[in-house]
Amino acid sequence: MKTVKQLPLRSEIPSDLTWDLTLVFPSDADFEAAFKQAELANQKIKQIAGTLGQSASSLKTGIDQVLALYRQVDKLSAYASMKNDQDTTNSHYQAYQAQVETLIAAVNAATAFLEPEILAIAPQYLKQLEQDPLLQDYQHFLDMITINRRHILDQERESLLAAAGDVLDNSSNIFNILDNSDLKFPNVTDENGQEYQLSAGIYDTLLESPDVTVRYQAFTNFYQVYGQFKNTFAATLAGEVKKNNYLAQVHHYDSAKDQALAENYIAPQVYDTLITEVNQHLDLLHQYVALRRRVLNLPQLHMYDLYVPLVAKPDCDYTFNTAKEIVQNALAVFGTDYLSHVEEIFTGRYIDVMENQGKVSGAYSGGCYDSAPYELLNWQNNLDNVYTLAHETGHSVHSWYTRHYQPYMYGDYPIFLAEIASTTNENILTEYLLQTQTDPKVRAYVLNYYLDSFKGTVYRQTQFAQFEHYIHQSAAQGQALTADFMSDYYGKLNAHYYGPAVINDPQIAWEWTRIPHFYMDYYVYQYATGFAAASYLAKQIVTQQPQAITKYLNYLKAGNSNYPLNIMQEAGIDMTKGEYLKTAFATFAQRLNELKTLLKQ
């Protein structure tokens, strides 16, 4: 007889393991009252349209009113989405969530005048206005809007392009529908005889199976389906690339890459340096792959053998309380100020710990400018969850510093910087575990966990970034992006990355068909730069380099008050240069050697 593990109901979870959202709004009635106020404020906001360029004071008032409205909406959105996430079957909060989404769309439409109106102010006159003491703190805000001025078309042409947005997004929409709804996958059986219908999630799990036949079956069946639709996927991806190239061209950028990076205030050298350095350090990945083949004791290593853990999960039990203790001890290296915020998060009710029926899966750190940072977890007693706690707490403390040290205008941080704070904590946890754990099984697991994260984040995402740039460049030069053209390049690139120790199975050449991030316009490289930067910063901190902690805390406090590369420069990294990447590769090499030695014993 089968026993099915039943998740508890939301109402059955002890309250001290749930987050306390009454600290955001004391009651639903307060949320509803605030919602009405925001609706009213939104109706009035149009009155300031057309007034911004009149004087320094009208510019300040206009910006303040729009930001005040955004701030109200952020709080409503945080409350509704967290209430909804804790139990998505609760129709009361589903309705809140839907109302907030409608309000956000209305607010976006009503405040769409802000940027064009600021851009319409003659540059000389704007400079003059900015000199007014009233606008002293607004200079960077105005600069973020106007820095790419020469790439912005007149209002009429910009609104034509905006109106075509839906049509231009069609390739990406079709990809999503095909990938998420229409593709049908066959059933496969795991090592325990359990039958599954393949899906992206099940595929990832089956590739971790210790049984090579299970992995082989999952791989061949999965790619058989993608391969069958490769021409359709080529058409959707080609459409997306053409869109990016077209928009870059009409906005007078030299390439889609230049546009995507400029819009996030990132210099193209950051991207180029990443590609160069990773390509110069592929020998380490080749060594890692060779180690994998030896440890798994396989005559040949295939692409479907790259995800099975080399080391069995240690059967130590990490309860949530133990995990908090480990994370606190690891993060103590940051000093008392940082640690006091970790303690606040761990002892206040800011974490929603347990799984329950209807709760969203995964983990995140959220909240808003006017609330504490909250964390959603789905706790399991294993080491991976200890890492998740360290990761999300890295985001939470980053949010805490940014929200307390910056005005609302600069009170958030860009994606380019976000994952650095969370992965620095993961790296510090790794250092701490390697310093404190004596059990060779635990040490080997930690080393393997680190190496696999590095492989998946630095090497794999850079491989994606390189492919993404190649197809954009090729299309810009008139090359038709057919399935064969893209697969030919992808297969060669894959062989180049993983090296001679792995069989470059022909199916892997179709991997580009199934990567949703290729529809996110030069996004993936940030995973790689973020992980490497975090690796560098963690090293600086644990080896107690002078000023390392002060500089790091300044990064956490900076929010959007400066451009991301300047903030990282002040934190100690010039991300246009390769040094931080070289340091990260040195750590990878050192840990690879440690694992080799451990596994020989």
Q: Which stretch binds Zn ion (CB under 5 A): 340-348, 381-389, 422-430, 518-526?
A: 422-430
The minimum distance between CB 426 and Zn ion, in angstroms, equals 9
For the beta carbon of residue 50, count every other beta carbon within 10 angstroms.
12
Own/partner contacts of 250-254, CB < 8 Å, gap of 24 or more, are 250/153, 250/157, 250/161, 251/151, 251/152, 251/153, 252/150, 252/151, 253/151
Q: Which of 422, 535, 583, 587 binds Zn ion (CB under 5 A)?
A: 422
Q: CA dist 300 to 224, 293, 294, 305, 500, Å?
A: 22, 7, 9, 9, 11
Please give the size of the binding site for Zn ion, defined by CB under 5 A: 1
The minimum distance between CB 422 and Zn ion, in angstroms, equals 4
Residue 215's closest CA among 109, 98, 118, 308?
308
Q: CA dist 530 to 260, 510, 536, Å?
A: 17, 27, 10
Nearer to Zn ion, 502 or 584 (CB): 584
Q: Which two structure tokens, joined as six digits, stand for 249?
A: 């061209």
C-alpha gyration radius of the chain: 25
The minimum distance between CB 592 and Zn ion, in angstroms, equals 25
The minimum distance between CB 478 and Zn ion, in angstroms, equals 39
Footprint on residues 166-195 left by Zn ion (CB under 5 A): none
- 568 conformational bin, left if phi > 0, alpha if psi -120 to 50, beta if neither: alpha
The minimum distance between CB 116 and Zn ion, in angstroms, equals 33
Which residue is listed with tokens 């400029």? Answer: 262
Decide if residue 457 touches Zn ion (CB under 5 A): no
Residue 345's closest CA among 318, 319, 317, 377?
377
Nearer to Zn ion, 84 or 422 (CB): 422
The residue nearest Zn ion at its CB is 422
Q: Which stretch binds Zn ion (CB under 5 A): 154-162, 199-207, 295-303, 417-425?
A: 417-425
Nearer to Zn ion, 111 or 402 (CB): 402
Nearer to Zn ion, 256 or 534 (CB): 534
What distance in Å separates the CA atoms of residue 285 and residue 423, rounded to the nearest whole number? 20
CB 511 within 8 A of CB 490: yes
What distance in Å separates the CA atoms of residue 447 and residue 115, rounded to the nearest whole number? 48
The minimum distance between CB 519 and Zn ion, in angstroms, equals 20
What distance in Å separates the CA atoms of residue 574 and residue 565, rounded to the nearest whole number? 7
In sequence order, the 6+-apart residues with CB closer than 8 A to the CB of 297 are none
Nearer to Zn ion, 273 or 560 (CB): 560
Nearer to Zn ion, 72 or 393 (CB): 393
Residue 505's closest CA among 307, 302, 308?
302
Nearer to Zn ion, 175 or 401 (CB): 401
Q: How far, in whole angstroms, is CA 163 from its chain's centroid?
A: 28
Three state DSSP letters for 112-158? CCHHHHHHHCCHHHHHHHHCCHHHHHHHHHHHHHHCCHHHCCCHHHH
CB 268 within 8 A of CB 257: yes
Nearer to Zn ion, 239 or 559 (CB): 559
Footprint on residues 500-519 left by Zn ion (CB under 5 A): none
The minimum distance between CB 419 and Zn ion, in angstroms, equals 5
Q: CA dist 589 to 282, 288, 427, 452, 466, Å?
A: 11, 9, 15, 13, 23
Beta bridge partners of residue 189, listed in sequence order = 195
Q: Which stretch binds Zn ion (CB under 5 A): 177-185, 238-246, 418-426, 456-464?
A: 418-426
The minimum distance between CB 376 and Zn ion, in angstroms, equals 12
Q: Which residues are catalytic?
A: 392
Decide if residue 399 touches Zn ion (CB under 5 A): no
Q: Which stretch binds Zn ion (CB under 5 A): 68-76, 164-172, 416-424, 481-489?
A: 416-424
User: Could you list the residues that contact Zn ion (CB under 5 A)?
Assistant: 422
